[in-house]
Amino acid sequence: SRIGEVTKVSVNWPGRLEGFENIKVLNNFCWELLNEDNVKIPGNQVQRTFTLPYDRWVFVQSVAQVKNRGEIMVQVQGSPKKIKPTVHARKGETTLESMQFLKAGTHVLLLNQSGDAKLKHLVVRAIPELQHSYYGADPRIRPYGRYNWDFLKKDVLPNINVMVGGLDHYRRGDAFERLKEWTDMGRGWISYKPIPWNLGSGEAVFKYWTETAGMQNPLVNGIIIDEANGGDLEAYDYFREAVEMMMADPKFKGKPVHPYCDMLTARDRSTKFARTCLKSGGNFVWEQYFSEVPEEKKARRAMHTNMVSRMPKWEEVFPGCTRRMVIILCYMSEPTESSNRLPDVNFKTYMDMQMELLANHPAFFSLGGIAWYHCGYS
């Protein structure tokens, strides 16, 4: 028998976003553009096309079976010459992955075969920027060892596409050597520099920021500046003027400024500065650091209050900025800064809850990137 009264509600469902007609949306971060098994390569070369709805990082995974003198090569057509193609040449079955940043539009994937080799599986996905903060930051507890390149190779480097630090701040001796190796893989590197609150002119700030490796080295993708917390302060005029001077100087073309920030939506001097950073090609790096709390309900309320409920304001003031935002969470779990403070709460579970929220809540669809602050406290 029926329980209760029947209620009907009309819903206006607008359908898929334009540009996503042939794309499989896996979550807010990740969209599948191509997925094919047992790829045939007649004449030893074939092409596959995929369409990217927004400027975004692209992940390519290929699985190949190679026998004697066989080879499979995978490469995005039109990639810069320095970016090496993915080559399956080792005998047996291998799985190889690559990442590179591409502009929105239709792209061609070149697939080449020579000798006795088969391309068993091919996947192309749009993914967010995946930052590591910071190269050169070692743990406070010395017996843990150094977080150098060799340490990062196994589990960190394969799973990120942008390295932060190591050049001007958190200097690491081999950073410039690793820079070429990293960018030859199609990955990005951003230098880190503090915000100079004590400098009293745009010219002085311009000089301070443009002397960095992030602005001087052609392999580096600009600078992350730390940190802009909003407010109608005169200093933001100097910061804005400095970024405008960089944009006007051909020497700094393609050198974005990315602010670490809290809310910059009050329509004041800090908002004008933030808008200028976006014009430079920079992303907002929005700081969202959550400490453990005793109850799950309170933990979810904190995430909703600080992230979900504030995201619409960002979009109101900077339309489309979700795609230009990297949300930096924290895994601080060492002295002298730690959010892992309650022995009866699982900190890793709380970290996972934050990622689950960002990956699935509609407010964060097409989020530009993810980072965690920072490895020196982990």
140 contacts 377 by C-beta, under 8 angstroms? yes
CA–CA dist 270, 230 (Å, integer)? 5
- Residue 335: pLDDT band with limits 50, 70, 90: confident
CA 331 to CA 123: how far, in whole Å?
Answer: 30
Supply φ then ψ for residue 200, to 5 degrees.
-100, 25
* Spatial separation of the C-alpha atoms in residues 84 and 74, rounded to whole Å: 10
The length of the chain, given as a count of residues: 378
CB 244 within 8 A of CB 282: no
pTM over 0.75: yes
Query: How much is the pLDDT for 117?
Result: 97
pLDDT tens profile 3-42: 888 888 888 877 778 889 899 999 999 999 999 999 999 9
Q: What's the Cα-to-Cα distance from 351 to each of 72, 143, 230, 260, 348, rounded to whole Å?
A: 39, 25, 26, 20, 5
* Class of domain 24-127 as given by CATH: mainly beta
| Domain locations in the chain as residue ranges | 24-127, 129-377
User: Across residues 45-63, what is the average pLDDT?
Assistant: 98
328 alpha-carbon distance from chain centroid: 10
- Residue 173's Cβ-side half-sphere holds a number of Cα atoms within 13 Å equal to 2
Residue range 206-256, pLDDT digits in tens: 999 999 999 999 999 999 999 999 999 999 999 999 999 999 999 999 999
Classify residue 359 by burial, with Cβ atoms within 10 Å: 0-12, 13-18, 19+. Answer: middle
Q: Looking at domain 129-377, does it have CATH number 3.20.20.80?
A: yes
How many angstroms separate the CA atoms of 181 and 73, rounded? 19
Residue type, 363: A
> Per-residue pLDDT for 1 more than 90?
no
- In DSSP terms, 18 is beta-bridged to none
DSSP string, 133-162: E-TT---SSGGG----HHHHHTTTGGG-SE
With cut-offs at 50, 70 and 90, classify the pLDDT of residue 173.
Answer: confident
Round the average pLDDT of the chain to a whole number and report it. 96
pLDDT band of residue 194 (cuts 50, 70, 90) is very high
Read off φ and ψ for residue 217, nearest 5 degrees.
-90, 125
Our CA dihedral for 335, 193, 163, 353, rounded to 10 degrees, sits at 50
pLDDT at 159: 98
Q: At 358, which helix (H) or strand (E)?
A: helix 347-360
Query: In this structure, are strands 325-330 and 369-373 parallel, antiparallel, or unpaired?
Result: parallel
Q: Please, how many CA atoms are within 13 Å of residue 324, restricted to the half-sphere of its CB?
A: 20
Query: Is residue 220 within 8 Å of residue 186, measured between CB atoms?
Result: no
Q: Using an 8 Å Cβ cutoff, are 74 and 85 in contact?
A: yes
Show the beta-strand stretches assigned E in the chain: 24-25, 31-39, 45-52, 56-66, 71-76, 86-88, 92-102, 105-114, 117-127, 129-133, 162-164, 188-194, 223-228, 257-261, 284-287, 325-330, 333-334, 337-338, 369-373
